[in-house]
Structure 1
Amino acid sequence: MSVERVSPPLVGDEREMLRAYLDFHRATLAMKCEGLSDEELRRRSMPPSTLTLLGLVRHMAEVERHWFRRVINREEVPFVWSDKEDFQEAYDASNATRAEAFEAWQTETEHSRRIEREAESLDVTGYVPKWESDVSLRLVMLHLIHEYARHNGHADFLREGIDGTVGA
């Protein structure tokens, strides 16, 4: 299965641009995982790090779930891979499979896209208990773009270490 990654537009309104950049980064992570076996996706970067491509996919599923469902939509949903509400637990992909990780991630990105589409504007707010503050959908989308961009940098190095593939 080939990943389709559409370049963001050079001109557009704020919401269109945020949506396009977020989808671009989501597709970039999927591209970095394309064509690899479960074993390769679980391959660690370098000791003592436990970072893997599959762990990044699982982590981003948790991130999407948290920011869009818990914060913006105010849903009371548990973490996917942690009983302790710890985002870091998703990184442990030692027994994970592509199928379960990608299914969870795709489910969460579908929820995120729906929540964003249904929001009246980027000024819609949700509450972040850890920050004891309201945040806008605009901030959430910017935060997710930042998260993906940072982790896609990690994915570049991980993929290169697996089979030498470089570039986005």
Structure 2
Amino acid sequence: MTDDRIDPPMRGDERETLRAYLDYHRATLAMKTEGLTDDELRRRSMPPSTLTLLGLVRHMAEVERTWFRRVINGEDIPLVWSDEGDYQVAYDASGSTGAEAFAAWQTEIDHARRIEQEAASLDVTGYQPRWGEDVSLRLVMLHLIHEYARHNGHADFLREGIDGTVGA
């Protein structure tokens, strides 16, 4: 695995630090999937779990899309893989390719970065219908860092089970 991740700043301001940690975790998931075939990316962890690296990539595309585009930007758009709003559909990567999933994920990351950079401050809010609450961009960025951190832990185990690669 090539580790091209950029360490977050030691003395950055709040926004710079949140942005850097989010990008660090995005890069970690990319690193954990580097160099694998579609079949390896679709390999399940262990019965009965259906969790795969490709499913995690697809899930994170949905997470990025939901929190930045739908919540903060207020866009009325469906999920990437489910017109019915079923988040579980993304985890089923059995008919997916790495190229398709990574392109969708990168598209959503690009939108997320643009939305965050154009926001006047971390205090910008959007409505989260599942919670029935307005949430700040600050909370969204922290939530995404949390979500990536959890799933990068899953990715560690999945990658080790595929080819024995550990670390980072």
What is the TM-score when the length of structure 2 is the normalising length? 0.98
Distance, in Å, in 1 between the alignment partners of 2:88 and 2:24 is 24
Match of 2:108 in 1: 108
The 5-angstrom pairing of residues 80-119 of structure 1 reads: 80-119=80-119
Do residues 163 (structure 1) and 163 (structure 2) align? yes
Paired-residue identity, %: 80
Runs of 4+ in 1 over 6 A off after TM superposition: none
Q: For 2:135, what is the secondary structure of its paired residue?
A: strand
Distance, in Å, in 2 between the alignment partners of 1:123 and 1:160 is 40
Distance, in Å, in 1 between the alignment partners of 2:134 and 2:22 is 21
Q: For 2:115, what is the secondary structure of its paired residue?
A: helix
Match of 1:57 in 2: 57
Distance, in Å, in 2 between the alignment partners of 1:116 and 1:2 is 27
Q: For 1:135, what is the secondary structure of its paired residue?
A: strand
Distance, in Å, in 2 between the alignment partners of 1:167 and 1:30 is 14
Distance, in Å, in 2 between the alignment partners of 1:43 and 1:101 is 15
Q: CA deviation at 1:2?
A: 5.4
What is the TM-score when the length of structure 1 is the normalising length? 0.98
- Work out whether residues 32 and 155 of structure 1, in 8 Å CA contact, stay in contact via their aligned partners in 2: yes
Q: For 1:8, what is the secondary structure of its paired residue?
A: coil
Match of 2:139 in 1: 139
- Work out whether residues 62 and 79 of structure 1, in 8 Å CA contact, stay in contact via their aligned partners in 2: yes
Question: Which consecutive unaligned segments of at least 5 residues does structure 1 have?
Answer: none
Match of 1:10 in 2: 10
- Work out whether residues 21 and 145 of structure 1, in 8 Å CA contact, stay in contact via their aligned partners in 2: yes
Distance, in Å, in 1 between the alignment partners of 2:166 and 2:157 is 8
Match of 1:72 in 2: 72
Distance, in Å, in 2 between the alignment partners of 1:24 and 1:35 is 19
- Work out whether residues 8 and 17 of structure 1, in 8 Å CA contact, stay in contact via their aligned partners in 2: yes
